[in-house]
Structure formats: structure tokens, C-alpha cells
Structure 1
Amino acid sequence: MKTRVLKIVFTITLATTLIACNDDDTPSPYQLPEISNKGIKLPYSVLKTTNNNVEVRNGGFGSAATAHPTNQGEFYALTDRGANIKFGSDKIFPTPNYTPRIGHFKLNTDGSIEMVREILFKNPAGNNISGRPNPEGYGATGETAYAEDQTTTLDDDKYGLDSEGLVAMKDGSFWVSDEYGPHIVHFDANGKQIERLSPKGIAGETGDRKLPAVFKTRWANRGMEGLAITPDEKTLVGIMQSTLYNPSKAEVADFTITRIVTFDIETGTTKQYLHKQEKAKNSNSEIVALSNTEFLIVERDGAFTKDTDKNLVQKHIYKIDISNATDVSDADDTLNGKLVNGKTIEQCTWTELANAGIVPATKTLAVDLIAELGDYPHDKLEGIWLINPTTIGVINDDDFAVWTGDNSATNQKYISKTETSENIDGNTLYIVNF
């Protein structure tokens, strides 16, 4: 489907009102400002500067995005667990006490973006959580958290979140999905935990409402990357970033098999559907509802266009429909889920699944960001703000402007793995029609 980029001129000034009123006090329709195909950078502050002069930024508002449920021209964006650096199979946390959070942003009429406020996540007692891993039994990924000295181990946090999916409710509360458990957590308007949903068999704090046990087999760091709410606000819809390791990584037959889960907020009932990725080990990084059965999703690779032939880089948004997809729930809610001829779903090929009558969600390409913008220079397309029925804003995860360098050092993140002096990656909003 051909889409159209909204053309604009970009200026930076703080601004004013988004919705004008007529003489009869009736709000005028919201008018988007013009925004160039190079996008608008979100504001940030500096959390710390390392000994080798690397800025760790706050920043990080790109793991998810969602529309403000009532205020046109405003959106929320989500951080993940905070700056983290690969350290073998473990992680170094340059800012170990960082609290994952939501940023409330406003797109002004002059094309600038301002932050309205931050909402920090808190445990049921009202204390700030961290992004450090969960302990064993609470959704642990097997990672050990280290301080920047690479020798000091950091405490686990049973309320810790690697937050990746975000829903804003009309009552002011939020639902957030993550990559540890994976968990889905309900927070009040001030960020205090109300309820925590985890796969069956993971310790929780809020009773018997659970996600299916099979989600415990998630690929570590590729958990529930996207979360949506249906327009009637009755059903949460989560999408896993990648294939479950079910029963193990070695036994996965096809790494394009990914799962969607729905959760009825009133009854706690769940259903599961399959999504077929375009390429093995792609990332499903966002989901937003268009109706109770139709959704936009991000499906992307992790490449930069500065490092790779643009024609081979994938930053796609698809429209999917689950109305005719097969519910692959397991009535007994076992760890390995529904079996097909004695095999887990992830042990099957798509042909075997089709022969068993299992139909995935349908999908059609809605936007190819590189084709529509001329370039999309970031590696991690992760947030969709649904502005109106035909227009979306998309945001990238900038990893707090840092990434792993030699010897697990904290290096500045640029929009290329070979860049050394400019173009620091930053959260940037682009607007396109679909």
C-alpha cells in the first residue's frame, strides 16, 4: 500500500495550544504540524558522563509509544531497564539505580516536542523500582548484573522491569509489558504497581491471574516487546519479540514462529495466536490496536542503513488481523503449551502447523519506513503513536545513547557501528500515513 510522508519545516521552540476553539467553544479538529522526513528529536538530559567522556542520556524514550487517551497531540513514550552493556552472557549497568519510566510528551504546533512530565515506576509500597534483573523464581533471565567496574555484582530486584510495551488507559492508569518474566504490570497514574501478571509458575504478588505458562520459555531479552489495548479497553494484546525457546533453542524448527497473547482484563481469560515473521529472528517491536481484531505491528531487523545496503534493511510496519487466526492455547496450561503430533508449536514447521489446521494472523505491509522517508538511519524502530485513523508517529529506541565497546566498555552510540565522531543516536519522532 502506498503511503505518504507529511512534509514539514522543523523548528525548535516551546509552544502553545494544540486545539483551538471556535466562537461556540467547539474544539477545532486537531491539525498536525508539518514535520520533515528527517524527524524531530525528543528532548533529553544527561544522566552521567563516564571517565572516557561518554554521555549516558535520559533519553531512552523509545521502547514503546502510545497516544494520550484524551489529549490530541500528546503521547507517552517508554524507557526500558536503563543503560546496559553486554558482558559475556551478563550485563553491566552504568547507572545501576535507574528507574524505568514513562515520558509524557507534547507535539507543539510549531513542530517542536516538549516533555510534560516523567512517571517513574514504583512497587506496591510506593518505592522506586530498578531495571536490574529479577531473582530466580520471579522471572529471572539468568543474567548477573554488574557495576561499571566489571567486578561488583549488583542486587537483583524482584520488582525490576525491562519494560518494552505500553498502554495508557482513560482512567489515567498504565499497563506495561516486559522482557524479564515476561510480566505485564498495571500501574496507577503516579506509577505505583496495582497488579502484576506473570506466566504460571513464576512468583507473583497479586493472586491467581496469570499469563500462560509457555511464556516462561521466552528467549531471554526478547520477551513481550509490544502491548496494546483494544478500543473498548477490555482486552490487552501482547506480542513476543521473537520465537520462544520451546522446549529449547536447539529444538526450534523455524525462527519465524512468534506468539501473540490476549488477556481479558475482567475475567483473566487468555488466548494465543501465531504471527509469521518475514525473516528468521526478526524483532516484533510494537503493537497498537486499530480495532478489536486488527493491529499495526513493527517488524524489524537490527541493521543500520549506514552499514548495510538499504534494500536489505527491514524497518516495516504491518497491519495484522487475528479474526480468522487459530487460538493455540493449551487447555491444561502446561510449560510447553499446545502440542501438535507430540511436538511443541516451535518444534514444528509452518507446513506441519498448516496440516494441523493452525492458521496464523494475516498480515499486509502498511509502511516501509526506508522507502517512505528515503532513509531510516536508526537500528531499533520500536514505538508507534496512533495519531488518527490514517496517521502514525514512530520512535526509535536509542539505548540511552550508549552501547558496548571493546572489553565491555561503555561507548557512545552512533547511527552506525563504524561512526566515531558525530551523529549520536537519539530518540526521534517521524510521522507517516498508512
Structure 2
Amino acid sequence: MKLKPFALLLTSLFSLASQAAEPQIDRYVVTFPQGDHVEYKGTYAENFPNGLPVGVGSGLQFVRKDGDALVFATVTDRGPNADSPKSGKKDSKIFANPKFTPLLMTIRVVDGKAEASDAHALHDENGPISGLPLPEGLIGATNEIALSDTLQQLPSDKRGLDTEGITPDGKGGYWLCDEYGPFIINIDSNGKILKKHGPQAEQGEQGVAGGLPNIIKWRQANRGFEGITRMPDGRIIAAVQSTLDIDGKTKNTAQFTRLVSFNPETGKTEMYGYPIDVEVYKKAKDAKIGDIVALDNNRLLLIEQGGDKNKVMRNLVYVVDLSQASDLSSFDKEKAPEFDDAAQLKARGIKLAEKKEVVDLRKLGWQQEKAEGMTLIDNQTIAVINDNDFGLQPLLENPDADAKKADDYEVDGKGHLTRDGKEVATKISLKPLEKPESQNELWVIKLPEALN
């Protein structure tokens, strides 16, 4: 049917409105023009003839515009590692290069390319740090067993960090956050550690660093601080990746994860509850924060992600308003709110932060499992990046007929896999991740409306 002129005009207007409402996306794969890679000469080196790709993207911070170029700061996490079976009741990780030092790098986006360079190893007065787990017994230790690629137990490291987020300190350096302690760490522009803060040890406890609320020591293993941002008034906000597991009882049912506020000038701390989309997940622990970015002194952007009840991955960006949220610190003295359901939180007068969806990355075509870095370029443009996990993954070789999964086995820390306490011929090797998972993907997204 031929449309009348007025109808044609309306159709055109609706079409233009629809187009205007769609985010505009520039997609990049981060490259390393200086040939940066992670050395790997281990047992499975033939699978990685050029070494391992650098895994930037655990955090992302827009620094400046340099002509037509966009300049970002980014960090790696603890280094190339892979999942392995439990050792008794403890989780274990294979560290392909135990000597790896987490890196601060620069990403420059111009002329259709995103290039990472200018690597600075994180270090303190004793030299470069490592990404190995903290010793057992220290507050904030994950109690993970670190293994070599031949499944031999590695030493722990009191100075180890698993860095996951980055934000400016307002003095030319940065604040980073970490999943181990969890810690927040102040570094200079060359990667030197100036200060470190972590859960304050209580009587009978030993800690690496203090100044933050003791309760965050209950973060799930490898689920400490995942995002960090500096508010305009100078406060640092760090996001615990998932629900706390207080006394091993709350990770599956808690209604929220914690946002920890820290004032570097006064040491004052507060904590707010970010309400996860509880009804979407099989268990509350499946929700994960990717990163956070300050909009003003009360609002921030936040990535919430994780597999839903049908194991379908979701990656959503929300605006989170803290202006009416309760400081959880005073309520913790009576009973940690993680033990409360929604009705009990309301009865206690506990208000969680308010949230509103901004964009669904999956609907825009995002295919990476996680978005781990996010930053604000201007009030209508954000950038997100994934962490490529250094391009490696574990492979179960020669499995028993009735035990095809890694979880069917245990490691003894002496180079062997076991079942029911008996050594088996099955091995775990390391192989490259396929594309696109092995790549660092950076998206620059112009939103339909400004984030005012």
C-alpha cells in the first residue's frame, strides 16, 4: 500500500528517532606494537611459540585527549593463570609464569587502532611485586594453592596483588584495587606503591595493611575489589565483586554487594549496599561487578554481570544513586545485613542504593564473557574493555572414562592429579584460548543521551 505524504513524514520521523536512540559504537582490538608479551618457557611452551599475550583490561581509566587520540591507563591482573582442581578443600590455580609482575600500561586510540605500550611493573621499596596469593593465616588471604604448570606447589607471597581497577589519585598517580586482601593501593605514575589499605585486623588477626572495614575480609576467594573510582570530592569508592560470605553462610542469599567509601585525607570509611538483580541468578553469588565510574558525588556507573539461571551471560551498565543509601557500618554491629532478606532489610530501615539501567552490552553485540574495565570519556561517552586472561586455558588430558571434568579430580601439590586419594594418569595441560576470547576488545560507546 502506498503511504500518503503525511504518513510518509511520520514514518521518516519515527525512523530517525529510532536511529537516534541507538548507541554509536567504535570497536577496537588492542594490539602491542612494541611486541610486549609474557615470557613462557614451561612444559607447554610449544603451544605458545610467541609467549603469552599481555592481559590488559582489568581496569580502564580515560586520561586525556591528545589531538585526535584518546589516551587511557590500564592494568593487568595477577598474571597468566588457569583453573585447576581443588587441593583438599582449597581452590588451586596454575600460574604459568610465577615471576610475572602486574603491569600499569597506556592504551592510545587513534586512526582506527588501539595500541598498548609504556609498561610499568608495579613495585615497592623491595622491588617488583608478584601476583602470587598471600600466605595462609593472614587476614585477606584467599587460601588458594598456587601451582606451577607441572602442578608443583608454589610459595605464597605477602606482597602479592591481584589488581583489578584503576582511578586517578588527583596528584598524578593512581589508586588501584585488588581481589586478594581486598586492598586499595596508591601508586605513582611509574607504578611505585606509595600506600596500601586493607581490612583492619582485629584482636588475634594478622594483616598486611589496615584502615578499611574488617567485614570485607569475608569476600569470596578471588572476588575482592573489582572496581574503583574517585569521586569529585576526593573519596575513593571500591566495589566488592560479589556478595560477602560471612562465616561461610551468606554468599548464596545476600541481597547486595558492598561499595566501600574511603577518604584518603581523613581515613573515614562508609559502606553502601548495591542491590544485585537477585531474581535473575540461580544463586546470589553468581552476580559479579565489573567496574565502577563516578558521575558525581552521589552517582556512579556500574557494570553488573554473570550467568543467569539459564547460564546465559549478561553484562549491564547501571547508574547507581547512593544519595539515599544507608551506611551499613552501624548496622553491622548488630547483625550483618547480608543475613537479611528484602523484607528484613526494610524492617531494619536499611536502604540500598537505587539503580537504573543505562545500556545492555549484550544487546549491542558484546560477546566477551566479561567487561572488566569501564571509564567515562565525556558525559555521553563511555569505554569498556575485557580482560583476555593472557590467552591461555587449561585442558584435561587422558581423563578417566567416568571423570571427564577437572572437578572430578584433586591435586596433591606434588605434580599429580588424584581420585579418591590415588594418583591417576590424567594430566592438565595449557593451551591457547581461541579468538575472540584471547583478544582485548575495547569499545567506545556514545550513548543516546547525556549522563546528567
Aligned equivalent of 2:218: 217
**Which residue is 1:227 aligned to?**
228
Which structure has the larger Rg?
A: 2
TM-aligned CA distance change 1:123 to 1:139, over 3 Å: farther
- Is 1:75 the counterpart of 2:79? The answer is no
Kindly report which structure 2 residues correspond to 1:17-416, keeping only aligned pairs within 5 A, or say none.
35=26, 39-44=27-32, 45-48=36-39, 50-54=44-48, 57-68=52-63, 73-88=70-85, 89-108=91-110, 110-125=111-126, 127-136=127-136, 137=138, 139-151=140-152, 153-201=153-201, 203=206, 210-232=211-233, 234-248=234-248, 250-252=249-251, 254-278=253-277, 279=281, 280=284, 281-301=286-306, 312-330=312-330, 337-339=332-334, 343-371=335-363, 373=364, 375-406=365-396, 407-414=427-434
Q: CA deviation at 1:60?
A: 1.0
Larger deviation: 237-246 or 59-68?
59-68
**Residues 102, 119 of structure 1: 8 Å contact kept:** yes
SS of the aligned residue for 2:343 comes to helix
Query: Unaligned stretches of 5+ in structure 2?
Result: 1-17, 86-90, 397-426, 448-452
Superposed CA offset, 1:214-266 (max 9, x none): 0111101111111000123x100011110001121x34562442111100110
SS of the residue aligned with 1:221? coil
Q: Judging by fraction of residues, say which structure has more helix.
A: 2
> What SS does structure 1 have at the residue aligned with 2:172?
coil
Q: Secondary structure at the match of 2:47?
A: coil
1:52 CA drift (Å): 4.7
| Compared CA separation, residues 258 and 149, structure 1 to 2 (3 A) | same
**Which residue in 1 is equivalent to 2:408?**
none
Aligned AA (1:229): R
Cα 1:74–1:252, aligned 2, differ >3 Å: closer, same or farther?
Answer: closer
CA distance in 1, matches of 2:252, 2:227: 24
Identical pairs, percent? 32
Q: Is the 8 A contact 1:64 1:226 kept in 2?
A: yes
Q: Is the deviation greater in 69-78 or in 218-227?
A: 69-78
Cα separation, partners in 2 of 1:258 and 1:219, compared to 1, 3 Å: same
Alignment pair present for 1:433 and 2:446: yes
1:343-401 deviation line (CA, Å, top 9, x unaligned): 42111112111111111110000111122x2x211001111121111101110111011
Cα distance, 1:330–1:357 mapped onto 2, change above 3 Å: closer
In the aligned structure 2, how far is the partner of 1:285 from the partner of 1:401? 19
Name the structure with the higher strand share.
2
1:140 CA displacement: 1.3
Q: Are 2:158 and 2:208, in contact at CA under 8 Å, matched by a contact in 1?
A: no
Structure 1 unaligned spans of 5+: 8-34, 332-336, 415-421
Distance of aligned partners of 1:252 and 1:219 in 2 relative to their CA distance in 1, 3 Å threshold: closer
- 1:6 offset after TM fit, Å? 2.4
TM-score of the superposition, structure 2-length normalised? 0.78
Q: Deviations over 1:139-180 (max 9, x none)?
A: 3110121111112x2222211101112112342211111111
Q: How many residues align?
A: 374
CA contact 2:244–2:250 (8 Å) conserved in 1: no
Measured after TM superposition, the shift of residue 402 of structure 1 is 1.2
Whether contact under 8 Å (1:46, 1:57) holds in the other structure is yes
Counterpart in 1 of 2:12? Answer: none
- Identify if the C-alpha distance between structure 1 residues 395 and 115 changes in structure 2 by more than 3 Å, giving closer, same or farther: same
| Greater displacement, 115-124 / 378-387 | 115-124
* 8 Å contact kept, 2:290–2:305: yes
Shift of 1:70: 7.5
Q: Which amino acid aligns with 2:63?
A: H
Q: Distance in 1 between matches of 2:221 and 2:173?
A: 28
Which secondary structure does the structure 1 equivalent of 2:161 belong to? coil
* Whole-Å separation in 1 of the counterparts to 2:51 and 2:330: 44
Alpha-carbon contact 1:247-1:344 (below 8 Å) kept = no
CA contact (8 A) 1:121 1:193 kept: yes
1:61-111, Cα deviation, whole Å (9 max, x unpaired): 111111116867111111110011122211110011100111111111x12
Structure-2 separation of matches of 1:427 and 1:78: 12
